[in-house]
Structure 1
């Protein structure tokens, strides 16, 4: 059975880097993404070497076992080429590349992967990451030290623990076979896409059902809109479906698309078409492969970094708390320089502070009770006192209360009633009455 489907490949330098170190390949049965490392002088060379070795695999295989063996052999040969290149041109030492490849064999996908480029499968309206990143932060995630969200912004997110490089002639690829079916969409991409565009937005672009070329354009635009700090390479493969079948003409993108543009090194090199002369790197390498003991060193450094960050946050929190306490003290002291005239039950009182309270904290205290009864004030003045009257100082408050005292209504005299005589009691003579002399 011949693989039936359509595909597209696209690669872009991005908005920060000055050259493209990515390479991609889309053929009849083979689909590859390689993200080179080693700076300006090595990254594009490494990814181009990997693609050149992979291109020969684009054929029909009788079984998935044959495809797996061919893929592993090609990766081993590519690693040997990288070792030889760095020996012949010492300035290329440290070059390497990620490699994520799919060989379609009938209704199965044979997958080989090393590094932090990714392979996704969009099936039944769900996006699944098929490969696992061979990175330091992925080990932290797997060990439960950090979350996936923290890994996206971790300062060591580009540190590779496994990679196709000039330091290992026997690369340890993840190799596995997965069944595929009509309607599947396979996405291979460098971290220039997956490091900028999250899975939700990738899935949304994949769900629109557009042709692979149009979908790849949308994904690239999302990466560019996100800043594209690294090269972006996308290879998209549809299995069956409504889109036209692949013509079978391979598409090569990125650094591997035109290796003749690379400067030719000294004639003694067997890889003369691929190698750069000595150049000052224009970009810092996006990845590097650490020594075997580097992982523990990085874990310790990460632990120190988290401790420093916590101390910094705690220090900032304490400074903020002390600043708030200081401002609170200053504000309270200011309130105690204010005075106002108000009411307390039934009399006029002078207060120090402000009328408002801060929750359970009272910002005013009684200073002097004037013993001016509210009932003695005219209604409009009583209402003013109940609403409180601001004073500029204690003396001003005293002056206000004296004006209130002066305007207070005088007390109304209460008449004392004359008691009625008790019935049967003798009536006292009226005052100044002339007493008659008794008759003899």
Structure 2
């Protein structure tokens, strides 16, 4: 059965301190792409728009299922290589990176590439499920059973990603194939939505009746109502029977940094826009470009005049310097408070053969250790019942403060004594 997509892409700068949109998204007949750039001063907007621009050529082509997945993987690899090339050419961009979610249609199948903590959701037969897995620190805690999904929604380190596209050779996305059925609805979103709006609220909106454009508008509105401090970008796509009229829009849509940087123009060359992607970017610029202010009539001719006077130019550099200092100060404060949050947690593990209380979390952030030995007990791990030994080895016994952690140690001591008594009576434990 052949399918088609009816889609809508929306993006907003959000209510935070960012003065530009670092998200990029593209929605077309055969391709859906969303990228959340990061790097701040190191050009997160360039990272996301560069990656989206590299994938645009996939749209409008006909691929077999296996070929679609290979083409998508190759395009992501090429996009990552281009990030490296741009950082090599301009050292000020060093450190930029981006998440990526991309769906490429092949018949009734969708090839999926995912890296980072942007998400894809699926509504099928009224059931709302997340089809991607976050590459994040909080997801690691979830996988280890150390926090619950409810705790993950409000975890202070939920924005800490462990894998994104950064131009390194080992930046590999998750790749998979999924069958698409008429009636399915797809949602692609960045963490500007998922970090600020509850899962249940997103589900309620996405499973409601409405066109993709209406649903996308509602999601942006609820994110702003939730006071999202980040850029927020979504793509909503309904899967239609290929024989049905997909309805508007019939043209691709580009939003966010990709529209501002005209990635379709870069992909198509210096000729007039002839591809659907190029036309979409041209329409986006026409719709979103503000009317020139009266002062803009000076244009580029004004720059030499201001430079000759010196004062305005020096003031501009001073202002930029103050902004950089302020941003670094904010990052330092966030880092301090984030580290402090980890140090309010405790867990049990083995140290030199004995049950030990550790302060912090059992992870490292690069060279930074997020845990340290707090209290070494006199209980040998080897003397514990096998169930308790496994719990200590998995580091899954956690506590919110030191007293609670010591209480767990005493419970282990009681289990050990009971086990030794059973062994003395000739039983096993």
| Both structures adopt the same fold (TM-score exceeding 0.5) | yes
Equivalent positions of 1:344-383 (< 5 A) are none
Equivalent positions of 1:104-119 (< 5 A) are 104-119=105-120
| Alpha-carbon displacement from aligned partner over 1:367-414 (angstroms, at most 9, x marks no partner) | xxxxxxxxxxxxxxxxxxxxxxxxxxxxxxxxxxxxxxxxxxxxxxxx
Match of 2:147 in 1: 146
Match of 1:249 in 2: 251
Once residues 201 and 146 of structure 1 are traced to their aligned partners in structure 2, the CA distance between those partners, rounded to angstroms, is 21
Alpha carbons of structure 1 residues 217 and 298: separation in structure 2 relative to 1, 3 Å: farther
Once residues 142 and 222 of structure 2 are traced to their aligned partners in structure 1, the CA distance between those partners, rounded to angstroms, is 26
Match of 1:294 in 2: 365
Alignment partner of 1:63 is 2:64: yes
| Alpha-carbon displacement from aligned partner over 1:193-224 (angstroms, at most 9, x marks no partner) | 11111221112112222000000000111111
How many Å apart are 1:247 and its aligned residue? 4.7
Once residues 181 and 78 of structure 1 are traced to their aligned partners in structure 2, the CA distance between those partners, rounded to angstroms, is 30
Q: Is the CA contact (8 Å cut-off) linking 1:83 and 1:169 kept in structure 2?
A: no
Once residues 113 and 14 of structure 1 are traced to their aligned partners in structure 2, the CA distance between those partners, rounded to angstroms, is 24
Between Structure 1 and Structure 2, which shows a larger proportion of helix residues?
2
Once residues 38 and 302 of structure 1 are traced to their aligned partners in structure 2, the CA distance between those partners, rounded to angstroms, is 34
Once residues 195 and 130 of structure 1 are traced to their aligned partners in structure 2, the CA distance between those partners, rounded to angstroms, is 17
Once residues 301 and 30 of structure 1 are traced to their aligned partners in structure 2, the CA distance between those partners, rounded to angstroms, is 47
How many Å apart are 1:296 and its aligned residue? 8.5
| Alpha-carbon displacement from aligned partner over 1:252-295 (angstroms, at most 9, x marks no partner) | 0000102169xxxxxxxxxxxxxxx998658678x99xxx9636
How many Å apart are 1:177 and its aligned residue? 0.6
Q: Which runs of 5+ in 1 are unaligned?
A: 262-276, 315-440
Once residues 239 and 127 of structure 2 are traced to their aligned partners in structure 1, the CA distance between those partners, rounded to angstroms, is 16
Q: Which runs of 5+ in 2 are unaligned?
A: 264-316, 336-362, 376-396, 406-429
How many Å apart are 1:129 and its aligned residue? 0.2
Equivalent positions of 1:191-270 (< 5 A) are 191-240=191-240, 244-259=246-261
How many aligned residue pairs are there?
293
TM-score (norm. length: structure 2): 0.62
Alpha carbons of structure 1 residues 106 and 48: separation in structure 2 relative to 1, 3 Å: same
Match of 2:388 in 1: none
Equivalent positions of 1:114-193 (< 5 A) are 114-166=115-167, 168-193=168-193
| Alpha-carbon displacement from aligned partner over 1:147-189 (angstroms, at most 9, x marks no partner) | 12222222221111111113x1342111001111110000000
Once residues 401 and 170 of structure 2 are traced to their aligned partners in structure 1, the CA distance between those partners, rounded to angstroms, is 42
Alignment partner of 1:310 is 2:312: no
Once residues 36 and 218 of structure 1 are traced to their aligned partners in structure 2, the CA distance between those partners, rounded to angstroms, is 23
Alpha carbons of structure 1 residues 227 and 251: separation in structure 2 relative to 1, 3 Å: same
Match of 1:45 in 2: 46
Partner-residue secondary structure (3-state), 1:67: helix
Q: Is the CA contact (8 Å cut-off) linking 1:26 and 1:251 kept in structure 2?
A: yes
How many Å apart are 1:100 and its aligned residue? 0.3
Equivalent positions of 1:85-100 (< 5 A) are 85-100=86-101
Match of 1:323 in 2: none
TM-score (norm. length: structure 1): 0.61
How many Å apart are 1:303 and its aligned residue? 9.9
How many Å apart are 1:60 and its aligned residue? 3.4
Q: Is the CA contact (8 Å cut-off) linking 1:28 and 1:246 kept in structure 2?
A: no
Once residues 116 and 374 of structure 2 are traced to their aligned partners in structure 1, the CA distance between those partners, rounded to angstroms, is 24
Partner-residue secondary structure (3-state), 2:40: coil
How many Å apart are 1:62 and its aligned residue? 3.2
Q: Is the CA contact (8 Å cut-off) linking 2:8 and 2:249 kept in structure 1?
A: no
How many Å apart are 1:40 and its aligned residue? 3.6
How many Å apart are 1:92 and its aligned residue? 1.3
How many Å apart are 1:131 and its aligned residue? 0.2
Once residues 78 and 293 of structure 1 are traced to their aligned partners in structure 2, the CA distance between those partners, rounded to angstroms, is 29
| Alpha-carbon displacement from aligned partner over 1:64-117 (angstroms, at most 9, x marks no partner) | 211111111111111111111112211211100000010111111111000000
Q: Is the CA contact (8 Å cut-off) linking 2:49 and 2:261 kept in structure 1?
A: yes
Once residues 373 and 55 of structure 2 are traced to their aligned partners in structure 1, the CA distance between those partners, rounded to angstroms, is 37
Q: Is the CA contact (8 Å cut-off) linking 1:115 and 1:133 kept in structure 2?
A: yes
How many Å apart are 1:126 and its aligned residue? 1.2
Once residues 235 and 307 of structure 1 are traced to their aligned partners in structure 2, the CA distance between those partners, rounded to angstroms, is 38
Once residues 112 and 23 of structure 2 are traced to their aligned partners in structure 1, the CA distance between those partners, rounded to angstroms, is 19
| CA RMSD in angstroms, aligned pairs only | 3.2
Match of 2:78 in 1: 77
Once residues 237 and 187 of structure 1 are traced to their aligned partners in structure 2, the CA distance between those partners, rounded to angstroms, is 7
Once residues 404 and 14 of structure 2 are traced to their aligned partners in structure 1, the CA distance between those partners, rounded to angstroms, is 34
